Amino acid sequence: MSLKIYVGNLPYTTTEEDIRQEFEYFGTVDTVSVVTDRETGRPRGFAFVEMSSASDGKDAIAGLNGKMMGERAIVVNEAKPRTDNRTGGGGGGYGNRSGGGGGYGNRRSSGGGYGSGGGGGYGGRQNRY
């Protein structure tokens, strides 16, 4: 059974061949994927390696985690399955109308603040000069 491995903190000049050479010492490498920025095409400083044997992969993790590549100590560990919750963070923020969380322009807040209309704040000023 194969093992997928995360390799992080890579120098931006690292190539797939550089990574393959490091990992082949521990066993057969099926694939190497250096992750690049979608817009610029530049490497993002991490990669994934898939090794044919799980035991070879574990040996590679033990042997390469913390190893210096260029000026950087690389991080090597078993890749974790991707979760599909890529929708961004939660509460608060600007203009939040649904209670909970603060933020500027929150319609339910009472008291001061920017644009709240109550006492204080900067929302009631008509003429700036």
- Neighbouring CB atoms inside 10 A of 65's CB total 15
Residue 13 has pLDDT above 90, yes or no: yes
What pTM, to 2 d.p., does this model score? 0.65
pLDDT digit string, tens, across residues 14-70? 999 999 999 999 999 999 999 999 999 999 999 999 999 999 999 999 999 999 999
Whole-number Å distance between alpha carbons of 30 and 77:
17
Residue 25 confidence (pLDDT): 98
Handedness of CA 72, 12, 9, 34 (dihedral sign): negative
pLDDT digit string, tens, across residues 81-113? 888 766 555 555 455 455 555 555 555 545 555
* SS3 at position 42: coil
Whole-number Å distance between alpha carbons of 46 and 74:
9
Domains of the chain: 3-78 (3.30.70.330)
